[in-house]
Structure 1
Amino acid sequence: MQWTSMIAIYGLFWVLSAFLVLPIGLRTPDQLPGHEVETGHADSAPVNFRPRLVALRATVLAAALSALFYLNWTNGWVTRGDLNFFGDPPVEDLGY
């Protein structure tokens, strides 16, 4: 596998990981004592959003997923044939 392909796969895993870890640890004003909702803000808006922590978590998770993907690529643990849940398509007799 080329290194540029691995960078692209890591980027895809990073974006997926960022969306997966985004809601972890967020708290709304009603979950934290002492916080009040200001005028114009939604009641469900998080009060403790930390983008650096989200990026760090996404980076670690994407690195682990990329490593698993590469190990599967080299060792062949799961192949395309293993994911064929519906069997081979039927062969039509065209009568030629």
Structure 2
Amino acid sequence: MRWTSALAIYILFWTFSVFLVLPFGVRTSEEAGMERVAGQADSAPHEFAPGKVALRVTIAASILFVLFYANYIYGWITPDMVDMTKY
């Protein structure tokens, strides 16, 4: 696999991981014991820490990419194994 292909796949994993990780660790103003701002939705997060989110996303994406690349090298799951048209 060329490095450009690997980079593109890693970016896809990183983008997917944003949606996977984003809901975790979110606290509303009510849960944080703070007052809501007028007009604020009940489910709005109290504060957003992009650095923490980026670190969590990078860790998750790296783990997923390592598993993907190991499968690419060792062939644990091949296209023939998941071909449902044979059955």
TM-score normalized with structure 2 length: 0.92
Specify the structure having the higher radius of gyration (Cα): 1
Among all aligned residue pairs of Structure 1 and Structure 2, give the percentage whose two residues are the same amino acid. Answer: 48
Q: Alignment length, in residue pairs?
A: 87
Instruction: Look up the match of 2:77.
Output: 78
Q: Which residue of 2 aligns with 1:93?
A: none
Give CA deviations for 1:26-51 in whole Å, capped at 9, x if unaligned. 01122122x11111211211003211
Gaps of 5+ in 1: 90-96
Measured in 2, the distance between the counterparts of 1:38 and 1:48 equals: 12
For 1:32-43, list aligned pairs within 5 A: 32-33=32-33, 35-43=34-42
CA distance in structure 2 between the aligned counterparts of 1:32 and 1:3, rounded to whole angstroms? 44
TM-align CA RMSD: 1.3
Aligned residue in 1 for 2:10: 10
Secondary structure, aligned partner of 1:56: helix
Partner of 2:86: 88
| Cα distance, 1:14 vs structure 2 | 0.2
Q: Which runs of 5+ in 2 are unaligned?
A: none
Partner of 1:92: none
Distance 2:47 2:40 in 1: 14
